[in-house]
Structure 1
Amino acid sequence: MKLYSYFRSSASFRVRIALNLKGLAYEYMPVHLTKGEQKKPEFAALTAEQLVPLLETDQGQRLTQSMAIIEYLDETHPEPPLLPADSLGRARVRALSQVVACEIHPLNNLRVLKYLVRDLQVSDDAKNGWYKHWVHVGLEAFEGHLAAAPNSTYCHGEAPTMADCCLVPQIFNAQRFDCDLSGLPRTMAVFEACMKLEAFQKAQPSACPDAEA
């Protein structure tokens, strides 16, 4: 498999974690987003979205959108599972995943932040305030979901799931933007538990081949 990725892309980070949890080997294909490499013809020809991650399977099929890729990996390589066996558990894990992937990330990804500054002439301070606001709103909701359920090591139970694959990259980004992460005891405990695992450590941005010094 080939994974087209950018080291700071949280969506790519999610997929890297999932691949590592599954023990799947892949070739890392760097696409430097801040240099606009995603818009170059050779990459744009591979995906209509011109975004990472893009996973190319051993058979040559190309898959986009991190959540769809993770579910594909879970269906084709079911051990260890990233979704629970029961329908209610799967719904909860998907909901937690979507708090990050659908509520926080779309408002704060690179192209949105660039649009705020370049097209809407928003100041850097205002842009950072925008980022921190939506992180705060989303992670408070995430904490509420965790607090409403029995305590567990990970987002759902005693093994990492797709929700953990989504949460960890979001915390990394929040820390990079100096967001206030106080008042999130359950969320941060899960993050710390995840970062004790090799699969998460090997997927983090600083471990990527294209990581900048």
Structure 2
Amino acid sequence: MNTGSAPATVLHPVPYHSQWASPELVAAIIAGALDAAEDPLWPKYGAETPEEYAWWSWRLCGMACLRMCLDHWQQTVPTAMDLAKECVEAGAYVHRADGGLDGLIYGPFAAYATRRWGLEAVVRPALPQQEIPQLLASGRLVVLSVHPSIRTLAPEPPRKGGHLVLAVGATPEHVLIHNPSGFPDRSQQFAPVPWTDLGRFYAGRGVVLGPGA
């Protein structure tokens, strides 16, 4: 991959946050071996009940990415539920009549991240993967829309997008991601995804975040 004038390697020491309260239980939860409501750390999520936690935990990959950015650039790291409720008010999540949830909606989310947290947030509906190294080298972090099976580098994902991860580094061979639904000791923190594999998961869009003024 041609990375232009970007350095050969860039890596930001971003703290990791899972979209579940117990990162070590993610594999069991995704496999259906454990109901998310049984996560013993659910109160740390900011939910009022285990059921509320379980419902939201499957949907807050974007809030996990935001928490990582806030932990990296600021000292304030609200709970996932606190952020989710604010994003509902901001229009970045929209409850549907059928009980589902639309979001993360990039435009309202970027406006919220700028207004509420003073971040620089730029929506990129078209973001070629060749630009990611330069963005990282400039001090930004990049939220990428990928298929969740990126956690295992599945050979044939059914589609692109549907899940958000945070690009925190790049080498000539890999993009390094923090995956909110990654598997422990395998694909959660600084997980290397070969540039040659990224395209089959990556929907070509995302949000570029910076620390602001």
Normalised by the size of structure 2, how large is the TM-score? 0.30
Normalised by the size of structure 1, how large is the TM-score? 0.30
